[in-house]
Amino acid sequence: MLEARDLGHRYGAGPWLFRHLDLAVAGGEVLAVLGPNARGKTTLLTALAGLLRPKEGQTRCQGGVGYVPQGHDAQHRFAVLDMVVMGRARLVRSWSAPSQQDIQAAWSALERVGIEECAERPYAALSGGQRQLVLIARALVCDPTILILDEPCAALDLRNQRAVLAMVGDLARHGIGVVMTTHDPSHALSVATQAVLMDTRDIHCGVSAELITSQSLTDLYRTPIHATTVEAPFGERAVVVADFGRRPGAARRQENQIEKEAVPI
């Protein structure tokens, strides 16, 4: 259980990124944080993870917190197992190297995300989705009760986005509380139980299905956005459409698909 009471932070004398914020994430819950660029999402996550001391308020967590920073295109060639073992850094004494026990824990974490067959390959040779799973495994290696992910799906193709989101759902099913940021509201609608919308003025918290509507998204991103559900061949799914405009020559949908009436969800 992760709890934040009366949390507030700002850089220097700048504007408050958030203030008087109360949050609680229990095991098995997924909290999605949405907001425009440079709104302070990462700052909020680092404060929740205990990596940043907030100007006001405090966070409390029973059990450990695992933090996965935003994925980077790292070119280093560390073996995947070595990468994951580094997740034990806070448990390894300052002047020593990881023990057999640490390596064992790393291997288990790799199994948990299902990529132990990549253990001895260089990290840089993996696909973006696999890299994200390695970073998740690295955060799982200390057995956290809360996992905080900063844009886990950024720069991933659709298949890899699906893999990472499935992993998030899987971890929540096994009792881990997850906090994640995303720029795609449909990610939040598909995996998150709760949502935080960081508006330019306000911060709204609530159940994701209730909070994420056409209206709230339009206000949040200051762009016409339409949230709806469609009946896809694989079941009913929430979709979010932004109005990017439409050029006369742009592709037109060929076949007519069954579509429900647009209703806010």
Partner 1 sequence: MTALITPTSSAAEAGTAPSAGQAEAAQRRRTRRRRWALGALFGLLALAFLAALSVGRYSVPLNETARILAHEALRLAHLDGLIDLRQTWTTQERTVIALVRLPRSLMAVLAGGALAVSGAALQALFRNPLVSPDVIGVSSAASFGGVLAIALGGGGLVLMGGSFALGLAAAVLVTTMGRIRASSPILTIVLGGIVVGAFFDAMVSLVTYLADPYTTLPSITFWLMGSLSAATWTELQLACVPVAIGLTVVMALRWRVDVLSLGDADSRALGVDPARLRWILIVAVSLMTAATVASCGVIGWVGLVIPHLVRLLLGPDHRTLIPASFLLGGAYLLVVDLLSRSMTETEVPVGILTAILGAPFFVYLLVTQTRKEANDA
Where do contacts with partner 1 occur on this chain (CB under 8 A)?
49, 51, 67-70, 72, 74, 76-79, 81-82, 86-87, 89-90, 92, 94-98, 100, 103-104, 106-108, 111-120, 122, 125-127, 129-130, 133, 138-139, 160, 163-164, 166-167, 170, 174
Q: How far is the CB of 28 from partner 1 (least distance, A)?
A: 13
Which CB atom, from 92 or from 239, has the smaller least distance to partner 1?
92
For the bound state, the minimum distance from the C-beta of residue 25 to partner 1, rounded and expressed in Å, comes to 18
Give SS3 for 20.
strand
Nearest to partner 1 of 191, 212 (CB atom): 191
The minimum distance between CB 140 and partner 1, in angstroms, equals 9
DSSP string, 77-126: --BHHHHHHGGGTTTS-TTS---HHHHHHHHHHHHHHT-GGGTTSBGGGS
Q: Which is nearer to partner 1, 178 or 212 (CB)?
A: 178
What is the CB-side half-sphere exposure of residue 232 using CA atoms within 13 A? 8
Q: 3-state DSSP helix/strand/coil percent for the chain, to nearest 5? A: 30, 25, 40
Q: How far is the CB of 234 from partner 1 (least distance, A)?
A: 14
Q: Count the Cβ atoms, other than its own, within 10 Å of residue 238.
A: 18
Element containing residue 67 per DSSP (H, E)? strand 65-68
Q: Which is nearer to partner 1, 120 or 210 (CB)?
A: 120
CB of 221 to partner 1, least distance (A): 26
Given the complex with partner 1, which of 67 and 221 has the nearer CB atom? 67
**Rounded Cα distance, 234 and 77, in Å:** 39
